[in-house]
Amino acid sequence: MKKLAVAALGGNALIKGSQTGTIYEQADNARQTCEGLIALIQKGYDLVITHGNGPQVGNILLRNEAGYNIFKIPKMPLDICVADSQGGIGYMLEVELKNLLQKYKIKKNIITLVTQVIVDRNDPAFNNPTKPVGSFFIKEEADLLSKANNWVFREDPRKRGWRRVVPSPLPKDISNKDIIRDLAKKGNIVIASGGGGIPVIKDEDGMMHGVDAVIDKDLAGALLALEIGATEFYILTDIAKVYLNFRKPDEKALDTIPVRQAARYLKAGEFADGSMGPKVLAAINFTKKTGRSTIITESGKLNDINSGTIITK
């Protein structure tokens, strides 16, 4: 049976922490990220790509505020901003990946699907925002923005500054999952569920409505991998492995760990919310339910068998 991989790209796939996020920076980062994915395609995998959007959707929200304050342009709700980010990021990834396919003489079609993801309207996350979006600010800037816009900020676990946080409900179902699976199994590269998907709820009549939230892309990626029958799940970030005591003198890299051990580490608080925590939880969700491995690593190290943390059954 042909292998089907889902690769979840971190927000740093397009904007790294020290960058301002110009189109030139994002295109260069997208090219480097997609170069890593070529390794999977050359190994014969069918491929579905999902991606983060934290920096991008945060910047879209800031444009919202600037446009309203200066020109009185109506503000768009967060679900529309997520949809905007899906289209823009999908476009950039498509362009860079198409160019690389031509470079390596690989014949593949690529399609980006604007994807809705259903969440529970009663999810407690709506009352406890945790998902970081947008740029890093110093404490004084964050305090001013918080007072001006009634936003919530939290300090980054890696001490890079303060970021706005928004509700992050758990994904319950992926819209158009059957289409995503069918396109991928026919050999097309599919970019779907970007930014965790556009968060929507169903009302009593079964009607869909967008909500102000950003779904964690790793948890949505794990659900997508489950629902389309992926044989492997890759979570690509800006570090090569998962660590215990991260950024501390006694930090320890994890190589291969069983899913039960990963769950114990997560419960013990070893992995920060809004950072490595959701990635490890997503890996646990996929591996526990399928018995198949999840690999957490850097995109440029997909060919390095000694890189990455592998979570196994």
Q: What are phi and psi of 50, to 5 degrees?
A: -125, 160
For the chain, domain boundaries: 4-120+171-312
Q: What is the value of pTM for the model shown?
A: 0.92
Span 68-119, pLDDT tens digits: 989 999 999 999 999 999 999 999 999 999 999 999 999 999 999 999 999 9
Architecture of domain 4-120+171-312: 3-Layer(aba) Sandwich (3.40)
Span 241-292, pLDDT tens digits: 999 998 899 999 999 999 999 999 999 999 987 689 999 999 999 999 999 9
Catalytic center residues: 11-12, 131, 217, 279
Q: How far apart are CA 133 and CA 202, in angstroms?
A: 25
pLDDT at residue number 1: 65
43-57: average pLDDT: 94
Mean pLDDT of the chain: 93
pLDDT at residue number 100: 97
Give the count of beta carbons closer than 10 Å to the beta carbon of residue 197. Answer: 30
Whether pLDDT at 2 is above 90: no
Strands 232-237 and 131-137: unpaired
